[in-house]
Structure 1
Amino acid sequence: MKSAVETLNPTRVRLTVEVPFEELKPSLDAAYRKINQQVTVPGFRKGKIPARIIDQRFGRGAVLEEAVNDALPKFYNEAVTEGEISPLGQPEVDITELKDNELLTFTAEVDIRPEIQIPDYSGIEVTVDAVEVSDEDVDTTVDQLRERFASTTVVERAAAEGDVVKIDLEARVDGEVLADGVAQGVSYTIGSGQMLDGLDEAVTGLEAGGTATFTSELKGGSAAGREAEISVTVESVSARELPGLDDDFAQLASEFDTLEELREDSRRRLAEEKKYQQATEAQEKVLDALLELVEVPIPQKLLADEVETRKHNLEHHQLAQLGMDLDAYLSMQEKTREEFDAELTEQAEKGIRTQFVLDEVAKQEKLNVSQQELTEHLMRRAQSSGMSPDQFAKAVVEGGQVPMLVGEVSRGKALAAVVESVTVTDSNGEPVRLDEDEDEAAGDEAVAGTENSTDED
């Protein structure tokens, strides 16, 4: 077999492959055996029909077609190896010549990973928010904990902000009650703003048995994004009472004996959270700065496929779970279809560029992924997916997604290596150093934010 590679553009090549007919013989023999098992010829036992009889009865062309279809993947893969190319996706194959007992010639056009040069990135400088925890931050956290331990008592008065009301709701669009627009006995805290726009104003001032009507845009369901007339009836009004801010509360809500110990623990947790946020911010800013330094040609077919995959996942998985279609989503986001498509294309392109650049950094830095690193990454992914590690691992293996996870870990390590080589300072002008655990976890998050849906390699 002989092959040649022609570069069509930085991201696409054409392979021309010539196969001597004798190299087709194994596939030709297999084609005769397959046809032998599928057909019946009077006078011959099944599976014992001579090749010349098959040629006479069914045509030599049918046998050749079967043999070529069987052999093409093998010869294509050999040509890819010989040409030292990294294909992306499936090739477009065209048989240009097939001479019986002489020669098979075919071409295969396929997108490839572009050759990119990673410049010296050590001069990158980024600034991130300083890790600062104020007394007000601690107060807010403790107050949120108090909210969780609040008690409620039914009262005979008009509802006010902070009260918990039990309500019935009914939504009408164009005068018709929606099948999924009725809810009864819903508990709602006035002022939380967690349901419909206008609900807080409608129920404030109502006593048990009171009714109000208001107009609001529905956020989900069959009429998501549409204006509806909402009727709300208050069944009961309950006042919320927060526990006292003292040592008794600390013992009730935590493992600590004093309020001061609880506040110090809250301060420590907030500092850890802000340090993680700082690490993620550093990773994201360094990644953006790195991408600006590197010229990355994008395979257009890969980009189109990635855009379509992202759109499909949004429409048929994320929005479908919310009972919403794309038009309703666009209405809620106040975006046109053109704006949505442009934004999706930009995100997909960044994902592809990120993958190519970080893969090249990993190759340049000779970064490998250990079994322990893969296991730790799998545990983090399982936790974020809501599945047990065993369930997630099984799904990954059955879906053939292990190489994808290895790629994610490798890119996270590559980004962490870049961050280690650049200058990161906080908003106070102090240098920022990330510890290894923060670096890896934040790297996962930063890369995941841009990762493309398919790891085609």
Structure 2
Amino acid sequence: MKSAVENLNPTRVRLTVEVPFEELKDSLDAAYKKINQQVTVKGFRKGKIPARVIDQRFGRGAVLEEAVNDALPKFYTEAVNEAELNVLGQPEVDITELKDNETLNFTAEVDVRPTIEIPDYSGIEVEVDPIEVSEEDVDKAVEELRERFASTSPVERAAEDGDVLTLDLQAKVDGEVLPDGVADGVSYTIGSGELLAGIDDAVKGVEAGGEATFTSELTGGSAAGKEAEVTVKVTQVAKRELPELDDDFAQLASEFDTLEELRADSRSRLENMKQYDQATQAQERVLEKLLELVEVPVPEKLLEDEINTRKHNLEHHQLGQMGLDLEKYLEIQGKSAEEFETETKDAAVKGIKTQFVLDELVNREKLNVSQEELTEHLMRRAASSGMSPDQFAQAVVEGNQVPMLVGEVARGKALAAVVEAATVKDTNGEVVDLSDDEEETEAGETAEAAAEGSAEEKPAEEKNEA
């Protein structure tokens, strides 16, 4: 077999392959055997029809077609391996010449990973938010904890902001009560925004036993997106009472003995959260700078697949679970269809470029992934997917996605290496040290977020749902 490669552009090649006819022998034998099992010829037992009879009855062309279809994948793979191509997606194959007992010639056009030159990235500088926790931040955190330990007591008066109501609800569309539009004994805090738009104005000023009717657009259920007439009956009005902020509260709400210790712990937790956010911000900004340094051609077919995959994931996984369609989602977001298309394409381009660049760094720096790193990553992905580690691992193995997870970990290590080489300062001019044990994990999350929805690699939990 002879093959030659023609570069059509930086991301697409044409393979020209010439196959001597004798190399089709195994496929021809297999074709005759397959046809033998499928047809019946009077005077011959099934499976014992001579080749010459098959040629006479069904035509040599049918045999050749079967043989070529069987052999093409093997010859294509041999040509790809011989040329050491890193192909993307399926090829477009065209048989240019097929002469019986002489030769088989074909071409295959396919996308390939572009050659990427990564310049020195040690000069990258980025600025991030400082880690600053104010007394107001601590006050807010403690107040949120206090809210969780609030108690309620029924009152004989009209409902006010912050009151906890017990409600019976009934929703009608076009005068008909919806099958899923009735709910009794619903607990609702006025001002929480947890139920329907317009309910706060409707129930404020209503006493226990009173009713109110209002219209609201339903966001879920059988009539999602439709205007409904909602009747709400208030069966109880209760006042929320917050515990005093003292040492007794600290002992009730935490493992600490004093309010001062509780506030110190709240400050420490907020600092840790801000430290995580700062690291993520640094990684995102370093990645942006890195992508600006590198020229990355994007294959058109891969970009098209990536855009379609992102749209599919949004519409069928995320919005479907929320009871929304794309049109309603865009209305809520205040975006036009054109803006959505542009944003999706930009995100897809960034995802592809991120994957290409970080993969190139993995190869250049010869970064390896240990079994321990892979296991930790699998556990984290399982937790985020809502699956148990065993379920997620099984889905990964059944979907042949172990290489995908290895790639995610390796790309995280590559980004961590770039961040370590960069200069990161906060807005106060202080140099930020990101060289802790969590850096690679956080960098992996940043890399995954940039490449999320990839058409080339799809997460196990999404494959499992598809």
| Residue equivalent to 2:456 | 455
Alpha-carbon distance in structure 2 between the residues aligned to 1:225 and 1:420: 49
What are the within-5 Å matches in structure 2 for residues 90-109 of structure 1?
A: 90-109=90-109
What are the within-5 Å matches in structure 2 for residues 22-421 of structure 1?
A: 22-173=22-173, 177-421=177-421
Q: Is the 8 A contact 1:354 1:450 kept in 2?
A: yes
Superposed CA offset, 1:101-149 (max 9, x none): 1100111111111112111111111111111122222222222222222
TM normalised by structure 2 equals 0.93
Pairwise CA RMSD: 1.9
Q: CA deviation at 1:419?
A: 0.3
Q: CA deviation at 1:225?
A: 4.3
In structure 2, the CA distance between the partners of 1:119 and 1:222, relative to structure 1 (3 Å rule), is farther
Superposed CA offset, 1:158-205 (max 9, x none): 111221111233444555544444433221111222333332222222
Alpha-carbon distance in structure 2 between the residues aligned to 1:108 and 1:456: 23
Q: Is the 8 A contact 1:404 1:455 kept in 2?
A: no
Alpha-carbon distance in structure 2 between the residues aligned to 1:399 and 1:20: 37
| Residue equivalent to 2:463 | none
Q: Is the 8 A contact 1:222 1:324 kept in 2?
A: no
In structure 2, the CA distance between the partners of 1:254 and 1:431, relative to structure 1 (3 Å rule), is same
Alpha-carbon distance in structure 2 between the residues aligned to 1:224 and 1:442: 38
Alpha-carbon distance in structure 1 between the residues aligned to 2:423 and 2:226: 49
SS in 2 for 1:95: strand
Structure 1 window deviating more from structure 2 (45-54 vs 1-10): it is: 45-54
In structure 2, the CA distance between the partners of 1:277 and 1:120, relative to structure 1 (3 Å rule), is same
What letter is aligned with 1:245? L
In structure 2, the CA distance between the partners of 1:316 and 1:456, relative to structure 1 (3 Å rule), is closer
Alpha-carbon distance in structure 1 between the residues aligned to 2:289 and 2:126: 8
SS in 2 for 1:184: strand
SS in 2 for 1:437: coil
Do residues 2 (structure 1) and 6 (structure 2) align? no
Superposed CA offset, 1:330-375 (max 9, x none): 2222222222112111111111111111111111221111111111
Q: CA deviation at 1:86?
A: 0.9
Q: Is the 8 A contact 2:86 2:112 kept in 1?
A: yes
Alpha-carbon distance in structure 1 between the residues aligned to 2:216 and 2:199: 8
Q: Is the 8 A contact 1:94 1:108 kept in 2?
A: yes
Q: CA deviation at 1:444?
A: 2.3
Q: CA deviation at 1:32?
A: 1.4
In structure 2, the CA distance between the partners of 1:435 and 1:190, relative to structure 1 (3 Å rule), is farther
Q: CA deviation at 1:226?
A: 4.7
Alpha-carbon distance in structure 2 between the residues aligned to 1:179 and 1:346: 42
**For structure 1, which runs of at least 5 residues remain unmatched after alignment?**
none
In structure 2, the CA distance between the partners of 1:169 and 1:331, relative to structure 1 (3 Å rule), is farther
Aligned length: 457
What letter is aligned with 2:297? P
Alpha-carbon distance in structure 2 between the residues aligned to 1:96 and 1:184: 72
What letter is aligned with 1:354? T
In structure 2, the CA distance between the partners of 1:286 and 1:414, relative to structure 1 (3 Å rule), is same
SS in 1 for 2:195: coil
Alpha-carbon distance in structure 1 between the residues aligned to 2:58 and 2:457: 40
Q: Is the 8 A contact 1:276 1:438 kept in 2?
A: no
Structure 1 window deviating more from structure 2 (392-401 vs 429-438): it is: 429-438
What letter is aligned with 1:443? A
Structure 1 window deviating more from structure 2 (130-139 vs 212-221): it is: 212-221
Q: Is the 8 A contact 2:173 2:229 kept in 1?
A: yes
TM normalised by structure 1 equals 0.95
Alpha-carbon distance in structure 2 between the residues aligned to 1:306 and 1:281: 25
What letter is aligned with 2:250? A
What letter is aligned with 1:61? G
Alpha-carbon distance in structure 2 between the residues aligned to 1:168 and 1:108: 66
**For structure 2, which runs of at least 5 residues remain unmatched after alignment?**
459-466
